[in-house]
A and B are shown apart, each in its own frame.
Chain A
Amino acid sequence: MIRPRERLRGAASATFAVYLVQALLAIAPAWPLARAVERAVRGLPAGTSALAAPGGLWRMEALAALGSSGRVFLDVAFAALLLALALGPLLQMTWLAALLRRRPLRDALAQGARHYLPAFAITLALSPLLLLALLALVAGPALAGHLVDATPSDRSHDLAMLAGCTPALLLAGLWALWHDLARASLARGGHPLPALLRGAVACLQRDALGAYVLWLALGSGLGIAAQTLGGLLDTGGSLPSLAVLLLTQSLTLARTAVRGRWLAAALDRVR
């Protein structure tokens, strides 16, 4: 039996390819946005370091200077996200194929392309669960708030509404877990419907949700670390910009690897 760590090691090129595609998608809005901000503050001797000055004077000025052009960056970012959404099944199925059998990237890509539509079908099939989660996000707090409507305490009311979000969070977590496991099952072969069923069975394993949350938390932690460390080192001026870029991208690559480690484990859960 191949252990998840070995699967990940065998699919290093696919993992790096996924990271690269996602980086390219993010560069599309990030580059012009960063350049526009730099242009706005080019008169300042401290350059973009002034953006971190206490009181936020230059940060506010730069934001105001972007003005209506800020909308263009939002549009580009939205387009990048849509493209990421469209490419998602291809990337994930390619990645899973590489993790499953340690194939060359080209073969894995071909396998991923074959599974593109079935993977989309799984997403569609699970979309009612996601809609249910969204519904619960609206209805749960409202219902909880209604149940304690008579309380004069704003704190009790708000805490009850917060607790009312729990079903929505559980449903969303279940959806994400099922989605990954079903696609992992699909990568092992067969059709979307049996893959969905095998995914559902795997969801019921005792530690499935816990394991998913653990890997999710680890990846999120790396993402937050990239933001925090990048901000501290950049605004502190202690590192050249290339070093900041290398640091943040190293952490982002590590986050991709963590995601790959979970997908490798998911393949074994739907064996």
Chain B
Amino acid sequence: MSALTAGPAAHAQEARSHDAVVVAPPSPCPTRYAIEATLDPGAHAVDGTLRLHWVNESATPASDLWFHLYLNAFASDDTVFMRESRGQLRGVRSPGRGGIDIHSLRTSGGVDLLGGAQRALVRGDATQLRVPLPAPIAPGDALDLLVTFRARLPPVFARTGHARDFHMIAQWFPKLARHEPDGRWASFPYHGMGEFYADFATYDLTLRTPRGWVVGATGAKTSEISKGSLTERRFHADRVHDVAWVAWPHFVEHTLRHEGVTVRFLHPPGHEAVLPRHARIVREGLTRFGRAFGPYPYPTLTVVLPPRGAEGAAGMEYPTLIVSGGPWFDVPGVRTPFPEDVTAHELAHEWFYGLVASHEVQWPMLDEGLTQWATTRLLTDVFGAGRSAVALPGLTLDAFELQRLLALRGRPTPAPGQPAYAFDDETYGRSVYLRTALVLETTRRTFGAARFDRAIGHYARAQRFRHPTPADLFASFDGVFGAGFSARILEPALLRGETAEAHLVRLDSRADGPGKYVTEVLAERGGALALPLTIALRAASGRTRRIAWPPGAPRLRASFTASEPYTAAQLDPDRHNLLDGDALDGALSIQSRARTGLFARVLAALQLLVTAVGA
């Protein structure tokens, strides 16, 4: 039984098996960001003051600081982001400019650090800022800085920006790069593919907007005061690695409580009909993800549905705040990917990104891939496998099977375990998202759901509030499946892109005396991934027989004698192997069913077209 589907008893049993992994609640971090920000809606800009208390938690003295200035990715066509993405993301072209201006950067003692700072560390790109320090900061020591800045938001593009009076304010402040335990700064330019990476910290936000505007932000709101034409709200968040906020005067707000979390929906007017679908999947996700990966630890979650024209902000995750999307209407009884899929995906990111904070540029499969698997698993458990992607009258589609075809048919893709910049727009989705999800689901189906759920649950719990690498994921699996499991299965599939293609070559069943038939089946592997497989044979009477195909054998030749001929063979009849792009070559039939009415139906459909343009 899946941890995502497990009942209370199974959950209790599973919880006992993870007694060794204590899931800690978020606690204050040594490093603290206090940001005061005022939105200028006319200029689509944010004026901010950042008070940063930074503690060197590494083992070596720090002689400099590295900041991310992500908004500068939109400053010109020459930035790394624009060059790599060719000025578009998810099919939307960059419609305008944005950037961030640092006005001052001083220590608490008033020493100016901006003068010696290096801006363009990569040609044409100012998304990183290196700040040499007057004196090294020893391990355990702290540094207090005061930074004033102005964030100029672009027209909505690549997760951030404005659309008329809607403002999605993300990647908007000078944020320290992740400081690794060995003292290195994991800084990088804002790439066209891949996202972010930062240390956990405590954040206090003071946000000022015009009075009457609705604001959603990372963290829990602690106060709200209106003064003159402005409203000032304060938000607090412990142990998060980013903060984002959204402001729009027309948001409609709905709130629900589930699993101890206050979930706040901010949506445009008119989306009321579809809201229950978002709410249902959020409830299901909080419960099932919580059981599988450890409970959602924060008191609030904000779900934002951006308005028309701001679609570039949709489909993005921030700690305790997700931006979904989709239409305003709901057709009862019809299951379409929108709105549940996006909401479920961004919610799953609260675990595989928000809590398990892997390097999203270096190892995007650890956030996007695991999230895609968790999302598809959730949709499968909630809606049933057959309806997990689409359920229209006369058409149902299985999400994992659909993803298998999208990922494995057509242009080959690099292995998912590559840095984000190794991919283009198309292969990134097919490999990092889909192939990773297929590898995980194939592992789960082939080697046992219960053990798989223990392994991934262990990874999610053990790496909570940490910054894991693939080695940590593999260690969790080896801990459950045994030493060498990852080297045999996960590493070839994820790091080298191996598949488990296999097909049936021949099926033969012939008489061998009165009432005796010899059946022979021959199968071959095309992929290098050694999965155990099964072949099901069926006789005309309906009797079935199964043959196990061990993982080490590249070919299988099996024969047996029975009292009747076996006329059909099906490789992997239980659909465990999702790493084979062609399932049709795994089916052979000596006596295929007589021709059906397909021609009649195709003909009738085409006659409709012909008469429409004819007489």
**Chain A residues within CB distance 8 Å of chain B:** 18, 21-23, 25-27, 29-31, 33-35, 37-38, 40-49, 51, 54-62, 64-65, 77, 80-81, 84-85, 87-88, 91-92, 95, 151-158, 223, 226-227, 230-231, 233-234, 237, 239-241, 243-245, 247-249, 251-252, 255-256, 259
Q: A152-B268, A158-B328 are in contact. Are A26 and B597 (CB under 8 A)?
A: no
Asked if B395 and A248 make an inter-chain contact with CB atoms under 8 angstroms apart, the answer reads no
Nearest first, the 3 A-B pairs at minimum CB distance are: A155-B270, A244-B597, A152-B250
Asked if B598 and A34 make an inter-chain contact with CB atoms under 8 angstroms apart, the answer reads yes
Q: A45-B567, A49-B593 are in contact. Are A40 and B600 (CB under 8 A)?
A: no
A120 to chain B, nearest CB (A): 13
A177 to chain B, nearest CB (A): 15
Q: A77-B606, A88-B614, A248-B603 are in contact. Are A241 and B597 (CB under 8 A)?
A: yes
Asked if B584 and A30 make an inter-chain contact with CB atoms under 8 angstroms apart, the answer reads no
Asked if A152 and B307 make an inter-chain contact with CB atoms under 8 angstroms apart, the answer reads yes
- Tell me which of B104-112, B401-409, B464-472, B482-490 binds A: B401-409
Contacting A47 at CB < 8 Å: which of B538, B575, B596, B614? B596
Q: CA–CA, A161 to B499, complex, Å?
A: 48
Q: CA–CA, A181 to B421, complex, Å?
A: 63
Asked if A64 and B405 make an inter-chain contact with CB atoms under 8 angstroms apart, the answer reads yes
Q: A152-B307, A234-B598 are in contact. Are A25 and B610 (CB under 8 A)?
A: yes
Q: CA–CA, A108 to B591, complex, Å?
A: 50
Q: CA–CA, A255 to B605, complex, Å?
A: 13
Asked if A49 and B596 make an inter-chain contact with CB atoms under 8 angstroms apart, the answer reads yes
Contacting A48 at CB < 8 Å: which of B567, B584, B598? B598
Asked if B402 and A60 make an inter-chain contact with CB atoms under 8 angstroms apart, the answer reads yes
A–B complex contacts, Cβ < 8 Å, 16 sampled: A22-B611, A30-B602, A34-B603, A43-B584, A48-B598, A55-B401, A64-B409, A64-B582, A65-B584, A81-B609, A81-B613, A87-B614, A156-B269, A234-B597, A241-B600, A244-B601
Q: CA–CA, A55 to B583, complex, Å?
A: 14
Closest B residue to A65 using CB positions: B584
* B498 contacts the other chain (CB 8 A): no
Number of chain B residues whose Cβ lies closer than 8 Å to a Cβ of chain A: 60
The residues of B that contact A233 with a CB separation of less than 8 Å are: 597
Asked if B600 and A249 make an inter-chain contact with CB atoms under 8 angstroms apart, the answer reads yes
B385, B390, B594, B611 — which one has the most chain A CB atoms within 10 A of its CB? B611
Asked if B614 and A25 make an inter-chain contact with CB atoms under 8 angstroms apart, the answer reads yes
Report B373-429 residues with CB < 8 Å from chain A CB.
385-386, 390, 394-398, 401-402, 405, 409
Contacting B600 at CB < 8 Å: which of A84, A85, A151, A245? A245
The residues of B that contact A31 with a CB separation of less than 8 Å are: 599, 603
Closest A residue to B599 using CB positions: A34
Closest A residue to B409 using CB positions: A64
Contacting A43 at CB < 8 Å: which of B308, B589, B605, B606? B589
Asked if B614 and A84 make an inter-chain contact with CB atoms under 8 angstroms apart, the answer reads yes
Q: CA–CA, A233 to B598, complex, Å?
A: 11
Asked if B584 and A41 make an inter-chain contact with CB atoms under 8 angstroms apart, the answer reads yes
The residues of A that contact B385 with a CB separation of less than 8 Å are: 55
Q: CA–CA, A231 to B568, complex, Å?
A: 25
Q: CA–CA, A57 to B399, complex, Å?
A: 10
A258 to chain B, nearest CB (A): 11
A152 to chain B, nearest CB (A): 3
Q: A31-B599, A61-B584, A241-B599 are in contact. Are A56 and B395 (CB under 8 A)?
A: yes
Asked if A92 and B615 make an inter-chain contact with CB atoms under 8 angstroms apart, the answer reads yes
Q: CA–CA, A39 to B608, complex, Å?
A: 25
The residues of A that contact B405 with a CB separation of less than 8 Å are: 60-61, 64
Given A227-B604, A245-B600, 5 more contacts at CB 8 Å? A31-B603, A55-B398, A80-B606, A84-B611, A231-B601
* B264 contacts the other chain (CB 8 A): no
Report B228-250 residues with CB < 8 Å from chain A CB.
248-250
Q: A42-B592, A60-B405, A62-B584 are in contact. Are A155 and B397 (CB under 8 A)?
A: no
Asked if A57 and B398 make an inter-chain contact with CB atoms under 8 angstroms apart, the answer reads yes
Q: A31-B599, A152-B250, A227-B605 are in contact. Are A22 and B593 (CB under 8 A)?
A: no
Asked if B615 and A26 make an inter-chain contact with CB atoms under 8 angstroms apart, the answer reads no
Asked if B583 and A61 make an inter-chain contact with CB atoms under 8 angstroms apart, the answer reads yes
The residues of A that contact B390 with a CB separation of less than 8 Å are: 56
The residues of B that contact A58 with a CB separation of less than 8 Å are: 583-584
The residues of B that contact A29 with a CB separation of less than 8 Å are: 606
Asked if B595 and A241 make an inter-chain contact with CB atoms under 8 angstroms apart, the answer reads yes
A246 to chain B, nearest CB (A): 8
Closest B residue to A247 using CB positions: B600
Q: A45-B593, A92-B615 are in contact. Are A227 and B270 (CB under 8 A)?
A: no
A238 to chain B, nearest CB (A): 11
B507 to chain A, nearest CB (A): 9
A219 to chain B, nearest CB (A): 8
